[in-house]
Amino acid sequence: MNLKKLPKIELHRHLELSVRHSTIKALAPKIGLKADTDEEFAKNFLITEPMKDLGSVLNKFLDTQKLFYTEDIIEQITYEICEDAHNEGIKILELRYAPTFLVMGHDKINFEQAHLAIVRGMKKAEKDFNMAVGLLCIIQRISPLDVAESVTDFAIDHKDTFIGLDLADNEEGFDSKPFSSFFMRAKKAGLGITVHAGESDVPNAPRYILEAIEHLGATRIGHGVQCYRDESVIKQLIDKKIPLELCPTSNWLTGAIKDKDNHPFKTLMDKGVLTTISSDDPGIFNIDLTHEYELLQNKYGLTEKDFEHCNKIAFDHSFISLDKKTAAWS
């Protein structure tokens, strides 16, 4: 089976952390970051060994964010991300970004300008590569509530170009419940809801998954990998037909899963949890989606049939309109 050519659907990829490496190398010197040698590039822009905790991973993301300093660059980066995804066999791609994170420190770019640049890059790529791309808007858990509210308004105001709303960043110490009313409002406005929950290996992680479903109305969970520790959470995910956007390499690099050879993906799939396969941050993790398929095939014995099963789940639960995703998938 040629895994690179296998048609794929990816539901979980962060725009800010999927920048093409040659583009990083070209842009880095312009913002005072060194990427001349492989060592410098890896030191500033890659995470290839497990980090101690999710907080330190998030800090490492900041250098990449500095690259997004003009609208033209944002458009170019978005187009290239879609092109790279196309070259990985991805026909349907959900790309997410946090407006607050993207424009941070870029005083000349506001949410609107950044978003329109992303939409331009995305639309051009959709046409050039005959693929379907949908954008998810992220609220950062660390945001004050008034900022989170303004991001919610921004997402709803642009529901013609956003397909959904997400909550991301470090879960521990950042309760999701205060964001409930924003997510309910977005849901009512027609946006899909997916939430990063149950990602890190912390004591309450399985409970965070249930809170995302109950309080934020999530119909998909970003990661959710820690559910493997609690059979009652697994049962609820199965009963409620809530798929997980699983990202195996990401889980290992962020320390969410300690043992590289022991990811619960297949166990969860075999139990009947709706599992989908994503790369999360392919640029910074130095991987692509094909890498994740290879890992699942080689280490856990997933077959072509299993991949078809996961992609069928991803198709059914993608927030992209049925017409658009059908056209790209057939």
Q: What are the residues binding Zn ion (CB under 5 A)?
A: 280
Closest CA to 102 of 54, 146, 159, 140: 140
What is the smallest separation between the CB atom of 151 and Zn ion, expressed in angstroms? Answer: 16
DSSP labels, 174-224: --SGGGHHHHHHHHHTT-EEEEEES-S--TTHHHHHHHHHHHH--SEEEE-
What is the smallest separation between the CB atom of 14 and Zn ion, expressed in angstroms? Answer: 6
What is the smallest separation between the CB atom of 182 and Zn ion, expressed in angstroms? Answer: 19
Q: Whole-angstrom Cα distance, residue 297 to residue 87?
A: 20
Element containing residue 140 per DSSP (H, E): strand 132-140
Element containing residue 14 per DSSP (H, E): strand 8-14
Nearer to Zn ion, 35 or 253 (CB): 253
Closest CA to 185 of 147, 207, 157: 157
What is the smallest separation between the CB atom of 197 and Zn ion, expressed in angstroms? Answer: 11
What is the smallest separation between the CB atom of 2 and Zn ion, expressed in angstroms? Answer: 27
What is the smallest separation between the CB atom of 40 and Zn ion, expressed in angstroms? Answer: 26
Nearer to Zn ion, 191 or 284 (CB): 284
Nearer to Zn ion, 96 or 325 (CB): 96
Do the beta carbons of residue 105 and residue 132 sit within 8 Å?
no
Nearer to Zn ion, 97 or 129 (CB): 97
Nearer to Zn ion, 79 or 101 (CB): 101
Mention every residue, 6+ apart, whose C-beta is less than 8 A from residue 19. Answer: 64, 67, 77, 80, 81, 283
Q: Whole-angstrom Cα distance, residue 277 to residue 223?
A: 10
Q: Nearest-CB residue to Zn ion?
A: 280
Nearer to Zn ion, 250 or 311 (CB): 250
Nearer to Zn ion, 59 or 298 (CB): 59
- β-bridge mates for residue 193, sequence order: 165
Closest CA to 114 of 67, 179, 49: 67
DSSP 264: T
